[in-house]
Structure 1
């Protein structure tokens, strides 16, 4: 045999299945044994065999695990520092960046704040973000390594234990500092004059006017302190949820829905109705209105989200025209009312807008009385052929907790105009009767005025949502403290800030659903450009979402995400139409029920067994099935 023939024969003997498969991919004929193997694995072999082979063998690869967390300081929508968390996972033995999330700033933007207050807030925020970055890059990075990003419960439990440990350490440090200060004070207070001064201050306190007011109205609850670095807990939990959705190759809203329903896939999903802020009536001069912080529009449920946003934009365009300086816009004429709408008395001109946009993403304007912004909305709708109460609804964020004068013990709704809590209830009843298109009042009273909350719910609960926002700022406190001072209300606004974890949101919304409260997911003042809030609202089944106005990128990006989700659900035929249903409260209060009377027995590690009160009591719901009025 020739040397060349011997070499070819030897190469054929050494040729293995791998080379035979390569010949197949290059278009050569496959030997019979290779063809049989491929037919056994893939009876109906597709054209893209590469992809099918990869999918087949990926089943035998190790599950993806967290390999690295990176925290960094970034800026939020108002230029303040906040936290970004990046998640890296080991996927098929390779390190890969999966996702990142940017937290919203927890601090409120105060109107007309003093320079000293602003400087102190900025320093506190900066310190908190720096500590949060340190937590993520060091402790949390080591603690969560090699965990599965799909195991949200385990991750959140570890995050909660870490935060509890930090809180305990912080209390010990504070206690030690207080003891040192007390020791120094004891050494320095040697003279009689030094010891008399503290006594004089204590004796002077009962004589102050504030003490007189505290005997007539419930005092404000102390503001819960925020532990520096707490952003790391919420940011990491949300980043893990996004990573879990990415690894599972499903949208974040579906991942959240599966977590809430214990992996039971929902057949239909309802989009939350948007509360779109059109006017921010902040205090701009001593003679301007204080009571109305936001005026919002709510599209009717029969419209799609896309149609509702388009209608809101039409109203906003007309409203801007009406707010032009005098001489440029015609005097609006209000049409006669069909459903009890107010008439323009002509006593007050429409307010003039300022040439700037609020951090809420809407136009800032001043108002001289409560009816002025409502008449403006009514006029704008009439001019484009829409009717308030049918084609569009109103909601008002009153933020009444910001108006209390503790010296007089009354709310200062206008400079020099004061009303007691009972008078506030009467004012709201008169307002809703005059403007029935208002279907939601947010924070109409302080959370401490519990009796007045009962009264306003009995008077207006069957035709208007009475929402608590200030009372529900700290989700973790709602979950842990079963006797939390939440007034009787229709629902609460939840915000994803600080040490809030995804598991906390799931648990609290489950409690709210079981007690017939509605859930509103809201965005804080210092909002970021991360659009995860839209997915959270959809996955948790929130009734409303409060995102601000249709300006500023950090606001609009969430509306755009909701529109994309709506399109996806409609394409998959899993979109269910929303509904508006009011609960009729009665004056006869229910006896205090155990949580087990409202919900199935909770897990022992979620609700402490010694707590006998549910997190949110509905004291004024009737004992029988409540009457409902449906708004379509």
Structure 2
């Protein structure tokens, strides 16, 4: 048993220049763990609640001094002396202190930072990597990266309605090769954008944010880049889409105003997706229909669920209760796992376990406002995740996760396994 000796939080900056929470835990043995939490831009209505200060004279209300204070003055004294390996007990104690369903009193940003830092400290105390501590000796599978190459929606000041256009290196034999495929395509795309007179500036998650004429043009440019880099679309590289449909859903219709589609019903939007899946090697669509449109969710699954991965994010928000409901209702066939949506490590693990029982694929994911923290890289391996979403292959807060996965692959050596093919659904 190694007990918690001290917990200390501080305010740091995320990749968008907004404050977030970092927590350091020191154990009686001297082992320590530090972890930082991200923040999203496209936020599901049922996510655990961040706590922000609301002081418009400081960081325009985005400060997190209240959350930091809750860690230092409330959570730390309550957790002092607890066995750090008792992750569920630690997380349950913080939830009990908070007393709300969505952690709004303490703040999910405060609670998750403590939860993650405790797990990191426990791994250090046990002298094993975090992925081994959380996943055991059988945690040897590297996830398939879903690499963001073009940003739109709320993640970029671009002309695209859809939020993320991604490449999935399904033909790669290893994680390191998958990453190389992605980097080479990313740079090929940069050259193509330059020759067409488009900007190669990037959005929040590192994907390019050009002013294109249509969502189809984004797909066409990516397809061209795949070929230019020497790869075969649909064989070496497939595509994935995060529509973030809730961001353009209002009054019962989907308003794709950025690219001139005007409004579409859910049936019309699904027909558009079907056209894209027929034309391009798309293997996954995330949040293709808003979570508040249950009829549309069922229609999307009927239309494409037998053919590709229909990923729920805003629909399930890493919440075991919502995942169980989505499984029962058949609203999607895969889930995104974001720790800050649910607020504790143990609850995220419970969400993964539900996905496993349903034989769902699941992708461990970052947020658009990230830090250099690499917790999710280890977590993806620990949870045997089919995929990881951690942005593009530029910007340090994104490449930090990829680089950690390269380290893990090296540590595992010949034991390392690689990914799942999303087409195997």
Q: Closer, same or farther in 2 for the Cα pair 1:512/1:275, shift >3 Å?
A: same
Q: Deviation digits for residues 535-566 of structure 1, max 9, x if unmatched?
A: 11111121111101111111110000011111
Q: Deviation digits for residues 505-554 of structure 1, max 9, x if unmatched?
A: 11111011111222111111111111111011111121111101111111
Q: 1:455 and 1:358 mapped to 2: Cα distance?
A: 31
1:251 aligns to 2:129 (yes or no): yes
Q: Deviation digits for residues 24-61 of structure 1, max 9, x if unmatched?
A: xxxxxxxxxxxxxxxxxxxxxxxxxxxxxxxxxxxxxx
Q: Closer, same or farther in 2 for the Cα pair 1:284/1:496, shift >3 Å?
A: closer
Q: Closer, same or farther in 2 for the Cα pair 1:463/1:480, shift >3 Å?
A: closer
Aligned residue number for residue 51 of structure 2:
none
1:102 aligns to 2:39 (yes or no): no
CA drift of 1:283 comes to 8.0
CA drift of 1:410 comes to 4.0
Give the one of 48, 62, 66 matched to 1:125.
Answer: 62
1:579 aligns to 2:420 (yes or no): yes
CA drift of 1:355 comes to 4.9
Aligned residue number for residue 276 of structure 1:
147
Q: 2:377 and 2:271 mapped to 1: Cα distance?
A: 36
Aligned residue number for residue 204 of structure 2:
359
Q: 1:284 and 1:159 mapped to 2: Cα distance?
A: 32
Secondary structure (helix, strand or coil) at the match of 2:403 reads helix
CA drift of 1:397 comes to 1.2
CA drift of 1:78 comes to 1.8
Flag structure 2 segments of 5+ consecutive residues without an equivalent.
Answer: 44-53
Deviates more, 1:387-396 or 1:300-309: 300-309
Aligned residue number for residue 11 of structure 2:
73
Aligned pairs (5 A) from 1:194-593: 226-227=104-105, 229-258=107-136, 265-266=137-138, 269-282=140-153, 289-324=159-194, 329=195, 352-406=197-251, 409-412=253-256, 414-415=259-260, 417-435=262-280, 437-473=281-317, 475=318, 477-479=319-321, 483=325, 488-497=331-340, 500-570=343-413, 573-580=414-421, 582=423
TM-score, scaled relative to structure 1: 0.61
- Conservation of the 8 A alpha-carbon contact between 2:95 and 2:103: no
TM-score, scaled relative to structure 2: 0.89
Secondary structure (helix, strand or coil) at the match of 1:548 reads coil
- Conservation of the 8 A alpha-carbon contact between 1:493 and 1:521: yes
Q: Deviation digits for residues 336-390 of structure 1, max 9, x if unmatched?
A: xxxxxxxxxxxxxx6x533532121122112212321111111122223321101
- Conservation of the 8 A alpha-carbon contact between 2:6 and 2:80: yes
CA drift of 1:105 comes to 2.4
- Conservation of the 8 A alpha-carbon contact between 2:21 and 2:110: yes
Q: 1:305 and 1:490 mapped to 2: Cα distance?
A: 24
Q: 2:368 and 2:219 mapped to 1: Cα distance?
A: 24
Q: 1:568 and 1:507 mapped to 2: Cα distance?
A: 27
CA drift of 1:229 comes to 3.0
CA drift of 1:411 comes to 3.2
Q: Taking CA–CA contacts closer than 8 Å with sequence separation of 6 or more, which of the two structures ends up with the larger relative contact order?
A: 2
Flag structure 1 segments of 5+ consecutive residues without an equivalent.
Answer: 1-62, 110-116, 169-223, 259-264, 330-349, 583-628
Secondary structure (helix, strand or coil) at the match of 1:353 reads coil
Secondary structure (helix, strand or coil) at the match of 1:381 reads helix
Deviates more, 1:486-495 or 1:234-243: 486-495
Q: Deviation digits for residues 120-164 of structure 1, max 9, x if unmatched?
A: 9955431xx212211221222211111121221221221121122
Secondary structure (helix, strand or coil) at the match of 1:433 reads helix
- Conservation of the 8 A alpha-carbon contact between 2:98 and 2:106: no
> RMSD in angstroms over aligned alpha carbons?
2.9
Aligned residue number for residue 95 of structure 2:
160
Q: 1:225 and 1:124 mapped to 2: Cα distance?
A: 19
Q: Closer, same or farther in 2 for the Cα pair 1:356/1:383, shift >3 Å?
A: closer
Q: 2:181 and 2:201 mapped to 1: Cα distance?
A: 23
- Conservation of the 8 A alpha-carbon contact between 2:323 and 2:355: no
- Conservation of the 8 A alpha-carbon contact between 2:143 and 2:418: no
